[in-house]
Amino acid sequence: MRYVTRYRIYPDKETENRLFSAFDKCTYVRNWCLDNNTFSDSILPKLKQEHPELKEVHSKVLQNIAHQISYNLKGLAKLKEKGRKVGKLRTKRVHSMIYEQSGFKIFDGMLSLSKIGEMPIVLSRPIRGKIKQIIVKHNKTHKWFVSIVSETSDTPVKTTGIRCVGIDLNLDNFSTDSDGKVVANPRKLRSSEKRLRRAQRKMSKKVKKSKNRKKQRLVLAKSHERVKNQRDDFLHKWSRYYVDNYDHIVMEELNIENMVSHNLRGLNKSIYDAGWRRARYFITYKAESAGKYVYFINPAYTSQDCFNCGNRVKKTLSDRNHHCQKCGYSVSRDFNASQNILKRACIGWDTPELTLAEIETSTPSQIGASFSH
């Protein structure tokens, strides 16, 4: 298993200056490679001869700069093959460095980096396994972090449990599951809009490149960081609840880009604020580490099809209740959708659907066994 854990580091002024100097040299190498269409680390010895100051940066760090460019270009090529419109890599400043295999050491609450120095590190949780990589990063709020990539020989034991749940993500509430649990939408961005708007307005009135503008930009960045941290905290707790309490978790395969591009009744900001993509990422990696299973199904008509009889009941976004005139099944729209999500994962999209009575009379082993096929 591979783990990525982030820790806070506190370099002093002298060490911080050396870090910024290393970032400048990494920026030069990255942009030089882009300008000269050279993406192999074999060019580094020649560059170091022409620019001896590059020797002040650990060799593995510069090699990883070249490797990252090559990796990003391959990613863009794959997207282009799928018909996606892609741009090109642009020159920019580097705000992170990757140490790999060597050049780092952790001891007595200190992190030592080759050609940089030592700095305090807050090990808020133990490091699991052998350290493979260390990524040093400086963010927009002037905080320093280090992400430690470690690896253990352990493999997660796959669950044999049969606890199943379907989860419907929506904007009215954040989620509704097939067991009837409704999680309220915290709307962190919406609740902070007034403070963000005020900070943005103040920055727009500052003279460009002035010290006051830089100070206000930091205030604005901290406000956005607070919103992000609050959202992440909520999503971590939400995903942890489902991974701890269920063995099989079923969600919709939502196409966020498509939903936003259609600008559904001006809901773009609310969709981004909900953080559905991040919720999916959190619950997926937590389930993988715990040996649990996460399934994604086609979301088409999950809100409109009746869970009990399969009759399609047309609804608008404002219709929050489901009432089937054919069989009389009446529940909230989101609860009906969560039941359909779980049922479709159990029996498949194209197979005959079960009725409510058949689901209720099925034993837990019968329902859980359907996931193994």
Residue 158, in any domain of the structure: no
Q: What's the pLDDT tens digit per position in 54-101?
A: 999 999 999 999 899 989 988 898 888 888 888 888 889 999 999 998
Cα 278 versus chain centre, distance = 4
In angstroms, the CA 71 to CA 30 distance is 13
Is there a catalytic annotation at residue 193?
A: no
- Indicate the range of 114-123, 312-321, 333-342 predicted with least confidence: 312-321
Runs of H (alpha helix) within the chain: 13-35, 44-50, 59-81, 188-204, 211-245, 256-261, 268-274, 276-290, 333-347, 356-361, 364-369
Quickly count: other Cβ atoms within 10 Å of residue 231's Cβ. 19
Question: Catalytic residue among 41, 247, 334, 353, which?
Answer: 334
Residue 52, in any domain of the structure: yes
Q: Is the same domain home to 303 and 192?
A: yes
Quickly count: other Cβ atoms within 10 Å of residue 121's Cβ. 22
Domains held by the chain: number: 2
Q: Is the same domain home to 289 and 170?
A: yes
Residue 156, in any domain of the structure: no
Q: Is the same domain home to 140 and 61?
A: yes
Residue 159, in any domain of the structure: no
- List b or e across 144-159, with b for residues whose CB sees 16 or more CB atoms inside 10 angstroms: bebebbbeeeeeeeee
Residue 72, in any domain of the structure: yes
Residue 33, in any domain of the structure: yes
Domain residue limits at 31 = 2-151
Q: Is the same domain home to 104 and 176?
A: no
In angstroms, the CA 37 to CA 35 distance is 6
Q: Is the same domain home to 184 and 146?
A: no
Helix, strand, coil percent content, the chain, rounded in steps of 5 = 45, 20, 35
For the beta sheet containing 130-138, the strands, ordered from the edge strand earlier in sequence to the opposite edge, are 96-100, 130-138, 144-151, 2-9, 117-122, 110-113, 104-107
Question: Catalytic residue among 100, 177, 247, 252, which?
Answer: 252
Q: What's the pLDDT tens digit per position in 2-52?
A: 889 999 999 999 999 999 999 999 999 999 999 998 888 889 999 999 999
- Indicate the range of 176-180, 197-201, 207-211, 264-268 predicted with least confidence: 264-268
Q: What is the CA radius of gyration of the chain?
A: 25
Token pair recorded at residue 224 = 């956005």
Q: Is the same domain home to 145 and 222?
A: no
Q: Do 238 and 191 meet the contact criterion of CB atoms below 8 Å apart?
A: no
- Which residue among 151, 179, 195 closes a domain? 151
Question: Catalytic residue among 41, 100, 168, 273, which?
Answer: 168
In angstroms, the CA 326 to CA 4 distance is 52
pLDDT given at position 356? 41
Token pair recorded at residue 272 = 């981004």
The Cα-based distances of 40 to 46, 119, 239 in angstroms read 12, 32, 40
Q: Is the same domain home to 240 and 214?
A: yes
Is there a catalytic annotation at residue 252?
A: yes
Q: Is the same domain home to 214 and 311?
A: yes
Q: Is the same domain home to 94 and 231?
A: no
Residue 157, in any domain of the structure: no
Q: Is the same domain home to 204 and 335?
A: yes
Using alpha carbons, select from 345, 18, 372, 326 the residue that is nearest to residue 168. 345
Is there a catalytic annotation at residue 334?
A: yes
Residue 346 has pLDDT above 90, yes or no: no
Mean residue pLDDT across the chain:
87
Token pair recorded at residue 232 = 């992440």
Tokens 């498509």 locate to 258
> Can you tell me the mean pLDDT for 283-298?
92
- Which residue among 91, 118, 151 closes a domain? 151
Using alpha carbons, select from 287, 204, 212 the residue that is nearest to residue 243. 287
Collapse the DSSP code of 301 into the 3-class scheme (helix H, G, I; strand E, B; otherwise coil) and give the result: coil
pLDDT given at position 264? 59
Kindly indicate the confidence band of residue 266, based on its pLDDT and cuts at 50, 70 and 90.
low
Residue 293 has pLDDT above 50, yes or no: yes
- Which residue among 129, 151, 173 closes a domain? 151
117: left (phi over 0), alpha (psi -120 to 50) or beta: left
Q: Is the same domain home to 78 and 133?
A: yes
Q: Is the same domain home to 35 and 182?
A: no
pLDDT given at position 309? 87
Residue 298, in any domain of the structure: yes
